[in-house]
Amino acid sequence: MASAGHVYSEYATNFLQDADSKSNTHHIVEFDRNTTRFRVEEMVNPREVRPAGKFGVRLDERWCDCGKIQKIHLPCSHVIAACKHAHHNFSMYISPHYRLDVIMKVYDNLFDELRHEEYWLPYQGPQVWPHPTIKRSERGRPKSSRIRTEMDIKEGTQSKKCSFCRTEGHTRNHCPNNPALR
């Protein structure tokens, strides 16, 4: 990707393209250029599950009410709409961790190989053992953790009934009244 001239990772590029297309449907309701605070109103977007709303954007604090710029450090559609309105370049709000040259620096150093387990130093810390009731069983049907109530208790034991003749004491496979078994 770097040799093709890309600056940001594939994830960041796709996210920014999607946010840029969404930003074209937003309107700036209120703004203050001195403090770079904006109120962005969304129009109805069929791709979004949540209803359209108004979001506060503070560019100087890298803040949006939707929380995406704080979580993933990429400008959301609201921030891009505010940047377009204020004639700012929204690329200054992209974290440098998404740049390909920064990502490639991770691989500049050599990784040490993991030595064989025989050469490991003995462990000198506390031993941790799993609680037997929390431990997950390996095989079989999972145990139910549901709390049983009086509704779950069967009244008396009922014997099996034949699904062919509806009498007790045998099943359909051994029914004396079934002509297919004769």
User: Which secondary structure element, helix H or strand E, spans residue 47, and what is its range?
Assistant: none
User: Which secondary structure element, helix H or strand E, spans residue 134, and what is its range?
Assistant: none
pLDDT tens-digit readout, 52-94: 788 999 999 999 999 999 999 999 999 999 999 988 899 999 9
Instruction: Spell out a b/e string for 72-86, using b for 16 or more CB atoms within 10 Å of the CB, else e.
Output: eebbbbbbbbbbbbe
Q: What is the pLDDT of residue 48?
A: 63
- CA distances 66 to 5, 27, 42, 89, 177, Å, are 31, 16, 12, 20, 70
CA-nearest of 62, 87, 66 to 19 is 66
Instruction: Spell out a b/e string for 94-116, using b for 16 or more CB atoms within 10 Å of the CB, else e.
Output: beeebbbeeeeeeeeeeeeeeee
Segment among 18-22, 46-50, 93-97 with least mean pLDDT: 46-50
Dist CA 20 CA 97 (whole Å)? 20
pLDDT tens-digit readout, 104-121: 888 888 778 888 988 989
Q: In a 3-state reduction of DSSP, which class is residue 149?
A: coil
* Bridge partners, 37 (sequence order): 32, 58
